[in-house]
Amino acid sequence: MAYDFDTVLCRTGTDSVKYSPSIARRMQPLLPDDFIPLWIADMDFACPPEVLAAMHARLDRGILGYSAVEMPEYGALVSGWMRRRFGWDPDPGSLVLSAGVVQALETLVSLLAKPGEGVILQPPVYGPFLRSILRAGCRPVESPLRDEGGGRYAMDFDDLERKAADPSTTLLLLCSPHNPVGRVWREEELRRMARICFDHGVRIVSDEIHADLTRLGVRHVPLASLFPDDPRIATCTAPSKTFNLAGNALAHVHLPDSDARAAWECDHAHHPNPLSIAAVRAAYAQGDAWLDELRAYLDGNLARIGTVLAERLPRAVYRVPEGTYLAWIGFPGTGLAGPELLAVAARDAGLLLDCGERYVSHGEGWLRLNAACPRSLLDAALDRFCRAFAPYAGG
């Protein structure tokens, strides 16, 4: 490997949310001082050296004034990445910028749905989906994923059809790949879901922030690549999860609907941080090799979780996710709700994790563990995890 993912980097003193003792204690007062945080979705790896070098070079110019990217040149760079990685060729002219995907979701729901209208989401799903619906004064309409057992999930198309058929329902928020269950939706699934939506006049916002982080051999299909330039689809993408740039707060929205784009540019135009622009340019121009090595490393981590759990916690449910670096681990039949699972993890293992209840609904009895860390740290965490949960899910 040309790049180093094994070195454990100290994040103390870097203002990291993940490692913040005060945030951690507020969440879990029983955590010991040497807690291992495997919750919020950023990685314990340094950004690619090419990205850091570009940011250093930009910093050396000395001035960090208000900044804007030049279109369509910047849009072409983003589209070039999408073309190389996914064979998707979005129109660079449809691109708008946002200070993050969550902010983009909130803006998109308010632009594309009217207060009181129904917006479909597929829980268990990333919590801010629900918040973006409520903030826009819309009505959340849950079409839960079907738990098929063994950690495998699918869309419930019959339920989706029923929900989409309500004329007051006008928008669906798609999580693709899906956080937290780790599905990478197949082309047939996406086509079927979109057909149901379009037949009933429901538009789609596709959050594809995890698109780059599929297992090697698993192909992410951008929804919009199946319906090129369709104004009924808005796609959110970002280099933030991919290159560990979340704090840089720069995300992309491919918005072919020209009215919505005009409204966005009028009321929500984003002036990005100049260091973020330099980072994105370098990441999308030079980040392929680093990303491919990262994916191989994450594959190893997620497989390791499977091996260890099968051996030491055979009654826990886990399936290697097709995408994301997030392990979704179930404890069926233990009678433990999420807050109790979190308390066991904190008190008996010194681990800070997320519980299924944070994912809108249908996540009770599950934990989410962020596996994007050096393998030695993961191994230490897994050992503690297995010892703490052996009374509940051991052999």
Ligand X SMILES: Cc1ncc(COP(=O)(O)O)c(C=O)c1O
User: Least distance from C-beta 247 to ligand X, angstroms?
Assistant: 9
Within 8 A by CB and 6+ apart from 348, the residues are: 384, 387, 388
Strand partners, 206: 174, 235
| Residue from 24, 36, 95, 102 in contact with ligand X (CB under 6 A) | 102
Stretch that binds ligand X, among 96-104, 186-194, 269-277, 384-392 (CB under 6 A): 96-104
Interface positions, 312-351, toward ligand X (CB under 6 A):
none
Q: Is residue 327 exposed (0-12), middle (13-18) or buried (19+ Cβ within 10 Å)?
A: buried
> Which tokens hold the place of 15?
């203002």
- Told to check if 276 binds ligand X by CB under 6 A, we report no
Beta bridge partners of 97: 252
207 touches ligand X (CB under 6 A)? yes
Cis omega (within 30 of 0) on the bond before 124?
A: yes
We find the least distance from the C-beta atom of residue 252 to ligand X, in angstroms, to be 10
Q: Is 175 in the site for ligand X (CB under 6 A)?
A: yes
User: Minimum Å distance from CB 99 to ligand X?
Assistant: 8
User: Could you tell me if 39 and 16 are in contact, meaning their C-beta atoms sit under 8 angstroms apart?
Assistant: no
Enumerate residues 234-273 that contact ligand X by CB under 6 A.
238, 240, 246, 251
Q: Which of residues 25-44 bind ligand X (CB under 6 A)?
A: 41
- Residue 227 makes CB contacts below 8 A (sequence gap 6+) with 194, 233
Residue with smaller CB distance to ligand X, 169 or 179: 179
In the complex, minimum distance from the CB of residue 192 to ligand X, in angstroms, rounded to a whole number? 21
C-beta closer to ligand X: residue 79 or 179 = 179
Site string for ligand X, 115-144 (x = CB under 6 A): -----------x------------------
Q: Does 112 bind ligand X (CB under 6 A)?
A: no
Piece in contact with ligand X (CB under 6 A), picked from 14-22, 100-108, 114-122, 182-190: 100-108
Site residues for ligand X, 36-95, by CB under 6 A, read 41
Of 98-106, 254-262, 340-348, 382-390, the window that binds ligand X (rule: CB under 6 A) is 98-106
Return the residue of 100, 350, 365, 374 that touches ligand X, per CB under 6 A.
100
Q: Is 279 in the site for ligand X (CB under 6 A)?
A: no
Residue from 43, 69, 181, 209 binding ligand X (CB under 6 A): 209
Q: Does 369 engage in binding with ligand X (CB under 6 A)?
A: no
The answer to whether 237 touches 100, Cβ cutoff 8 Å, is no
Give yes or no for residue 214 binding ligand X (CB under 6 A). no
For residue 121, give the nearest of 195, 173, 159, 176 by alpha carbon: 173
Q: Which stretch binds ligand X (CB under 6 A): 99-107, 188-196, 299-307, 373-381?
A: 99-107
Are the beta carbons of 355 and 363 closer than 8 angstroms?
yes
Do residues 393 and 313 lie in contact, with contact meaning Cβ atoms separated by under 8 Å?
yes
Q: Centre a 10 Å sphere on the Cβ of residue 71 and count the other Cβ atoms it contains.
A: 13
Sequence-separated (6 or more) residues with CB below 8 Å from residue 346? 28, 30, 31, 35, 352
The SS3 assignment for 154 reads strand
Which residues, other chains included, contact 309 with Cβ-Cβ below 8 Å and sequence gap of 6+?
316, 318, 329, 382, 386
Among the listed residues 43, 55, 97, 101, the single contact to ligand X using CB under 6 A: 101
User: Applying CB under 6 A, which residues contact ligand X?
Assistant: 41, 100-102, 126, 175, 179, 207, 209, 238, 240, 246, 251
